[in-house]
Amino acid sequence: MSATNARLVALLLLAPLLAAGIAVRSPAEPALAQNTVDVDNDNKVITITINANLIGNDLQVPLLEADFEEYWGKEGGYTYRCYKVVFKLDLVAASSPQRGRHTVFIVPTKFGDPFIATVSSPRDYRPAEESATGRWSKWDGSTTQAHEWGHVLGLPDEYNELDTNGNGERDYGEGSVPDPSRAPEYSWTDDSPMNGIIDAGEVSLKPGEQPSLMAELGRSQVLQRHIDSIIDKHAPSLTECQGTLSGTITETPLKDDYRELTRSADFEGWFDIDDDGNVTGEITLTYDAVLTVEDLPGADVGIAAFDPEVGGRVTDPNPTRSYPLTGSLEGDGLTLEIATPEEERERDPIEFTIIADPGVSAGLGGGDAFTAPGGNVQIIKIDMTPFTPFGGFPATVEDNAVHFLEEGDGYQIKWDAELANVAQR
Amino acid sequence: MSASAAGDRLRASVLLTVVLAAALLVACGGGGDAPGTDEPDDQVQAEPQGTVTEESAIEAVESFDPADEEAVASLNDIVYDGGDYVPSLEPLLESEDPNVRWAALYVIANLTDTEDEIGVLTPILEDDEVIFSVMAAGSLAGLGVVDALPALIGGLSSTAQLPYSDPPQPLSSFALLTLERYTGETFDDADEWQAWWDDVGSSIVWEDGQYVSD
C-alpha cells in the first residue's frame, strides 16, 4: 500500500469514528415531555396534554379519545384559580414504547374476562417528566379509563383496602372503600364494635358532595381538588393571581306612597389570590343616600293650606371609606367579604334635616324622625352602617370573570370582577 | 502487489470502516430520536413485549403479593404476552395460598380461549368461593359455556368486589354486565335473573356470540 493510500485508509477509518464520537457527545435533543403544559397568560388558559402511545390495538385510539373527552374534556374546561384548565390527549398508535410518551398497552381480552386495568409509574412520579405505563383492556369502561388517565396525570388512588380478617395484609377477598383521609368528600363512622379501623359500611359520601373519580367507580367525577393537584404537579411555578373589582349596591329601606329613602354604594377594589386560594385585598366604597318626598298630602291648618314638596340628599361628611378585603377562591367559586368586623364598621347615624312650614309633617317616622323645638324643623336620623355588597357565599367565576347580580325586594347588588395572572415564579 | 489488488483492499477497508462506523453509531445511540419513530425508551417503566417466559409466568403467579403495587401489573404482562401458559399455571389453582390461587385464576381466566383451557377453567364454576366462580364464569360466558350463566347469576347477590380492581368494582356489577352483554336481557334484580334462568336455562344455546333460547 502506498503512503497516500495508507493515509487515506487511516483518514477513512478515523473520520466515522470521530463522527460517531461527536454524535455521542452532542447534547441530546430535548426529550419530549410525557405531559406537556402550556400556560397562556394572555388568555389565562392552562392546557395539559397527555402524550401517549397506544400499543396492541390501533382501532382503540378514537374510542379512547372519545372516552377521555367524556371525563377530562369537560365543556368549558376546569378552573385553577384565575385560569381555565383544558386537558387534551395526544394518543398515537405505535408498535413499541417511545421516548417522551407514556405507553398504554391494550391487553387482548374478551368481554367478561376479569381483567383489571393497571398503571405503573415511578415512585414519587413526576407526570410531566416521567413515563407511566398502562395495561388496559378494550372493554374497560369510560370511568375506569378516566380513573387510569387520572393516574397518568399523577393522581393517586383514594380508596382504602379493608382488612376484614385482621391479618394486617391485603388479601384477595377484601374489598376497598373510599378513604376519607384522602378523599374528604367522604366521612367515616367507627360503628360498633368500634375497632379504630375502617370497615365495610362505615364510609359514606357526605351530603352535597360529589363522589371522587379516584375513590370509586359509580358516578364518580373529576373534582376541583384533583385539578389543583394536577396543576401543582405540572405547573408548580404558577403563583399569584390578581383580581379587580367594581360594582354598586343599592337598598331602599323605606318606601311608601310619599317617601323613598335609597342608600347606595359604588365600590371598587383589588385583591390577590395566593397558592391556597386565599384572597387578600382592599375595597373602597363611596356611600350615598337619597330621600325623596313627593305628593305629601297637603295640610290644612284652618287659615292656610300647604302643598309641600320636600326631599333632598343625605350628605355624608365622609362618604368614601376603604376596608381590607378577604375571601377565598375554591374552584370556580369566589367568595369575598369585608375583613373589618361589621360592628367596627358602624358609625353614627347621619342627620337629615327638613325645614318645613309650621304644621307640616314630613311623616318620616320610619327614619327615626322627630320634630325639633321650634316646630318647623324636622330632623331625620338615617342609619348609615356601611353595608356590604357580599353575602358570604361564592360567586361563580366564568372565563376569569364574575358578573354578580342579585335583586330582591328593595335591593340590588351588582358587581363585576376580573381575574388575571400577574406573575410567575 | 498489483495496483488492482491494492485497490480492492482499499475498497474493502473503506467498506469495513463504513460498516463499523455505522454499527458504532447505532450502538452508541447516536442516531437521534426523531419524533415519530418507535425507538424503545429506557425511561419507560415496563415493556411487556417478549419478556414473559413460562418460568417467569409461574414465578410471577407464585410470588404474587397483593401488597406489591406492581403485582397485578406483572400478571397483566403475562396476559398481554398471550402465551400458552395455562397448562403451566393450572397446578397453581390448587395452591394453599389463596392469593396465589387467585393470581393463577386471574391469568388463566384472561388467557382461556381453547377447549383445553376451557376444561381447566370449567371446574372453578363450582368453587365454594363466589369470587372464584364468578371470575371463571365471566371468562367462560364469552366462550359459549352455558353453565357459566348460573354462576354469574349467583354473583349478583354478592357484596364482594372484583379483587384488586382499580377503581374498585363490585363483583355483582361485573356479573351483571357480563350477563346483560351475552344474553341481551335486562332484569331488575337477582331474583328476576334466577326466574329467567329457571325458565329458559334448559333450552338456552350459544349462537353467534350470544345466548339465545328457543
Dist CA B177 CA B191 (whole Å): 16
- Using alpha carbons, list the distances in angstroms from residue A279 to A82, A112, A113, B115, B213: 12, 51, 51, 67, 66
Lowest-confidence region among A115-119, A341-345, B10-14, B30-34: B30-34
Q: Give me the number of domains chain A comprises.
A: 2
Comparing A310 with B113, which gets the higher pLDDT? Answer: B113
Tell me, yes or no, whether A299 and A370 share the same domain: yes
Probe site for chain A from B13, B28, B37, B44 (most A CB atoms < 10 A) = B44
A182 pLDDT above the threshold of 60: yes
Lowest-confidence region among A22-26, A185-189, B76-80: A22-26
ipTM of the shown complex: 0.79
Comparing B159 with A275, which gets the higher pLDDT? Answer: B159
Cβ pair B151, B137 in contact under 8 A? yes
Cβ pair A146, A70 in contact under 8 A? yes
pLDDT score for B179: 98
Tell me, yes or no, whether A360 and A227 share the same domain: no
**What does the pLDDT look like over B98-141, one tens digit per residue?**
999 999 999 999 999 999 999 999 999 999 999 999 999 999 99
In a domain, A180, yes or no: no
| Structural domain span for residue A254 | 241-421
Probe site for chain A from B11, B41, B65, B78 (most A CB atoms < 10 A) = B41
Contact A131 B33 (CB under 8 A): no
Backbone φ, ψ for residue A256 (5° rounding): -140, -160
**What does the pLDDT look like over A222-248, one tens digit per residue?**
999 999 999 989 987 765 677 888 998
pLDDT score for A192: 81
A17 pLDDT above the threshold of 90: no
In a domain, A321, yes or no: yes
C-alpha cell at A75: 365543556
Tell me, yes or no, whether A246 and A227 share the same domain: no
In a domain, A136, yes or no: yes
**pLDDT more than 90, % of chain A:** 35
Tell me, yes or no, whether A118 and A248 share the same domain: no
Tell me, yes or no, whether A272 and A398 share the same domain: yes
Residue B27, classed as helix, strand or coil, is helix
Q: What residues of chain A lie within 8 A of the CB of B48, using their CB?
A: 105, 135
Q: What residues of chain A lie within 8 A of the CB of B52, using their CB?
A: none
A319 band by pLDDT with thresholds 50, 70 and 90: confident
Q: Residue B110 is nearest to which of A109, A132, A144, comparing CB atoms?
A: A109
**What does the pLDDT look like over A382-409, one tens digit per residue?**
665 667 788 778 888 887 788 888 888 8
Tell me, yes or no, whether A227 and A266 share the same domain: no
Domain-ending residue, one of A234, A265, A282: A234
A window 50-69, beta carbon within 8 A of B:
55-56
A window 376-415, beta carbon within 8 A of B:
none
In a domain, A166, yes or no: no
B44 pLDDT above the threshold of 70: no
Tell me, yes or no, whether A86 and A146 share the same domain: yes
What CATH number did the domain enclosing A40 receive?
3.40.390
A358 band by pLDDT with thresholds 50, 70 and 90: very low
Q: Rg of chain A's alpha carbons, rounded to an integer? A: 34
What does DSSP say about strands A133-137 and A102-107: parallel, antiparallel, or unpaired? Answer: parallel
Probe site for chain B from A17, A92, A118 (most B CB atoms < 10 A) = A118
Tell me, yes or no, whether A220 and A351 share the same domain: no
C-alpha cell at A420: 388575571
Tell me, yes or no, whether A282 and A221 share the same domain: no
Tell me, yes or no, whether A225 and A280 share the same domain: no
In a domain, A404, yes or no: yes
In a domain, A251, yes or no: yes
Q: What is the mean pLDDT of residues B182-208?
A: 97
Tell me, yes or no, whether A223 and A317 share the same domain: no
Tell me, yes or no, whether A407 and A264 share the same domain: yes
In a domain, A17, yes or no: no
A270 pLDDT above the threshold of 70: yes
**Among A388, A418, A403, residue whose Cα is nearest residue A265:** A388
What is the DSSP code (8-state) at residue B124? G
